[in-house]
Structure 1
Amino acid sequence: MLDLIENRRVGVEYQVILDARTLEPFGYEGLARLYDRDGAPLPPQAVFDCLHASPLSLVQLELIAKTAQIEHAPADGKLFVNVDPDALLLGLAPDRDHPMFRLLARRADVVVEIIENSNTQQADRSLALARALAEAGIQTALDDIGAPASLLALPLLMSVDYYKFDRHWLGRRDDTAHRALLSHLLGFARERGKATVLEGVETAGDLELARALGVDYVQGFLFRERFVSVRP
């Protein structure tokens, strides 16, 4: 971990986010790609999970990753980035003087993705982060809505600007209850002026479903030829 941080072995993959109707680019999600000293990829989630035992190292890596994501991002459109709440909160209230807030403010079109939660304590921390980002003028998205083992916190749902629906909805397209729930969530989003993104779009059928549901934007490997990769 120390070698990874000290030598900044952090790259970025930018996954395009497209208008569901026109397929014109709306923006990109910047995803950290981590490498060992031999150039072999490391699983990002496992690395970040490990670093929760060392909060300062977690902050360091998040700052390195976000700096790369912002510096190398395509110039046009929104830039969606994931931020681990623990890298900003560290058990305390969000601090607007935190270097991460200053870094995110460098680009006016940044949207911070806040992950879905698996317990109420995480939900409280995510809500505190969403409110602090809003006060700083930074837009937010709720990521992975509907992912397995996730907890949908209603105050958080009402606090963010974008809803990003997890790929698992696509696997439940023939389940009438899940289809009805998704339709209601999308209807609520339209009523409240929230933009929606469907993740995991991999086939023409997935895209057709997104259009039928009235999703605003789509993201997934169907459009992988338009992804952009930057290695360290």
Structure 2
Amino acid sequence: MLTGYKFESIRALRSENVIAWEVLSTANPHVDLEDYFGSMSLAQRKAHFFAQLRHAMFCEAGEKYYLNATSDLLLETDFLDRIKEETPYPERLAIEVTDLHALVQLNDAQSLTLRICIATLHQWGIEAWADDVCEDILPNLLTSQIRFCGIKIDKHTFWSGRTEQAKFLHLTRQCKRVASKVLIEGIETVGDFELARASVADYGQGYLWDKT
């Protein structure tokens, strides 16, 4: 089903320099990756995450890599121990929490455990990011006690900004209230790039640069 890995560049919006790479999976043409990962058990997702981590840690020295993970994976009792054991270069790793809507469903104990996990990652030099942030989830992030290093704005939210620019630029400013770093996904055209640069966002990612 899965055939390997690919890397999407993450760029500084001011210079367009590559500052990191997101590690993504490839699959056979008939496979819908979103459905595929949605059907995986926690144990399977856990095995896949650590396989990606081992692959990233043995890639080119000095590069930084972003890996996706769900909150239930971070809540696993052995997650921090395995991360510490299998991450020889913590400064080269960032973890994107992909299921932000699930955070509001956590009970108090789970929420506390997740906050401690993310704070511990930060202490080790591993960044934790909120992935696919949109208008609907932002109020929950603003009131949450979870402190992320960065926010990635969902590409569909960004694309809506093509016609509602003032609304989008306000959203990016709100994101800065949650995290010090903001990344915009889905930059596909020169116009997209100009809109992203007009915002307070720091980084960009998209087809404009990764066309293969």
The bucket for the TM-score relative to the shorter chain is: 0.7 to 0.9
Measured in 1, the distance between the counterparts of 2:64 and 2:46 equals 24
Matched, 1:117 2:100: yes
- Aligned-pair distance for 1:109? 1.8
Check whether the contact 1:143–1:163 (CA below 8 A) recurs between aligned residues.
Answer: yes
CA RMSD of aligned residues (A): 3.2
Shift of 1:178: 2.8
Measured at CA, do residues 46 and 102 of structure 1 come closer, stay the same or move farther in structure 2, by a change above 3 Å?
farther
One-letter amino acid matched to 1:195: K
CA-CA distance at 1:31 after TM superposition:
1.0
Q: What's the counterpart of residue 65 of structure 2?
A: 79
Query: Whole-Å Cα distance in 2 between the matches of residues 101 and 155 of structure 1?
Result: 30
**Matched AA of 2:67:** V
Aligned to 2:191: 205
Query: What residue ranges of structure 2 are gaps of 5+ in the alignment?
Result: none
Could you list the per-position Cα deviations for residues 79-114 of structure 1 after superposition, in whole angstroms to 9, with x for gaps in the alignment?
111122333435xx56532x2453245442211111
The change in CA–CA distance for 1:102 and 1:121 in structure 2 (over 3 A counts) is farther
Q: Which residue of structure 1 lines up, in the alignment, with residue 5 of structure 2?
A: 12
1:14–1:28 CA contact under 8 A, matched in 2: yes
Structure 1 length as normaliser, TM-score?
A: 0.72
Which of 54, 62, 80 aligns to 1:96? It is 80
Paired residue for 2:38?
49
2:118–2:147 contact (8 Å) kept in structure 1: no
CA distance in 2, matches of 1:197, 1:176: 16
TM-score, scaled relative to structure 2: 0.78
Q: Kindly tell me: are residues 150 and 21 of structure 1, through their superposed partners in 2, closer, same or farther at Cα, counting changes over 3 Å?
A: closer
State the SS of the aligned residue for 1:22.
Answer: coil
Report SS of the residue matched to 2:91: coil
1:129 aligns with 2:99: no
Distance 2:14 2:198 in 1: 10
Q: Does 1:69 align with 2:56?
A: yes
Q: Deviations over 1:28-76 (max 9, x none)?
A: 11112245xxxx5633332222123xx333322332233223333x434
Q: Post-superposition shift, 1:19?
A: 1.0
> Contact 1:202/1:221 (CA < 8 Å) preserved in 2?
yes
Retained in 2: the 8 A contact 1:10–1:65? no
CA distance 1:105–1:112, change in 2 (3 Å)? farther
SS at match of 1:12: strand
Residue-by-residue CA offset, 1:121-166 (whole Å, 9 max, x unaligned): 2597577435314314221111111177887433557501111111
Q: Distance between the aligned counterparts of 2:131 and 2:3, measured in 1? A: 22
Looking at structure 1, the residues matched to 112 and 156 of structure 2 have their Cα atoms a distance apart, in angstroms, of 24
Amino acid of the residue matched to residue 58 of structure 1? Answer: R
CA distance in 1: counterparts of 2:115 and 2:160, whole angstroms: 29
For structure 1, the 5+ residue unaligned runs are 228-232
What is the aligned residue count?
Answer: 206
| 2:148 corresponds to | 160
Contact 1:33 1:42 in 2 (8 A): no
The percent of aligned pairs where both chains have the same amino acid is 22
Preserved CA contact (<8 Å) 1:10 1:68: no
2:131–2:153 CA contact under 8 A, matched in 1? yes
1:24 aligned partner: 17
